[in-house]
Amino acid sequence: MKIIQNFRNINNQIKILSSNVNLIVVSKGQDINNIKMILNEGHLDFGENRVQEAILKWSNILAINKNINLHLLGKLQSNKAKEAFNLFNYIHSLDNEKLAKIFSDLEKSSLKKIKYFIQVNIGNEIQKSGIDISLVSKFVQFCQIDLKLNILGLMCIPPANEPPDSYFKKLYELNISNGLKELSMGMSDDFTIAIKFGATYVRVGSAIFGRRSN
């Protein structure tokens, strides 16, 4: 199958570039049969953008295979935070104090602890989510010290139609300056570049499943 071939090829590319990179297969909008092909390869890390879609798609699978790691990649509204907390293991889009406080309160009343990436608006784009670069250090400290959240690192989506190199470099430097070890950046079109700039989590969907028409 083409999907399996694509998945194996990307895995091989990643291994050639680095031994310290986690591939998140972005399964948003995908049929469950396509996802099961990747599961049958033994892969356990999958990314979704919408909480409701993820609940419908993954609840039955997670009941059978509790080793799967689900990563929330998309913008999260505060009214969906509790549902996200119950389903996901990783949040890659933490970007405001209100949301951080909600997750802190949820963790206080649960044995579950989530791993977080703080989304940075690396290109200072009005239409994109993410913390302003100038506020990153303050927000990292607030999440780590005040709220005791497990912040793994930073995440970004660089501006479209621009070379991503300078943005990846900037995020890498921000990550280092804040003492963070993991870095979530790079998608289907640029994950190899992201790895060269220190990415440890890459988010790949269309390069595996093919481009969606919608």
Tokens of 33: 């049969």
Q: Is 214 within the bounds of a domain? A: no
Average pLDDT over residues 129-144: 97
**Residue 165 confidence (pLDDT) above 60:** yes
The answer to whether residue 213 scores a pLDDT higher than 60 is: no
Q: Which position has the higher pLDDT, 129 or 202?
A: 202
Answer with the residue of higher pLDDT: 99 or 210.
99
Q: Which residues share a beta bridge with 71?
A: 47, 90
Range of the domain at 33: 2-209
What's the total number of domains in the chain? 1
Tell the burial category of 181 from Cβ atoms under 10 Å away from its Cβ (0-12, 13-18, 19+): exposed
Q: Residues 162, 164, 165, 171: is their CA dihedral positive or negative?
A: positive
Coil, helix or strand at residue 30: coil
The fraction of the chain above a pLDDT of 90, given in percent, is 93
Structure tokens at 200: 């440890």
Tell whether 48 is covered by a domain. yes
Q: Has residue 139 been placed in a domain?
A: yes
Task: Give the chain's mean pLDDT.
Answer: 95
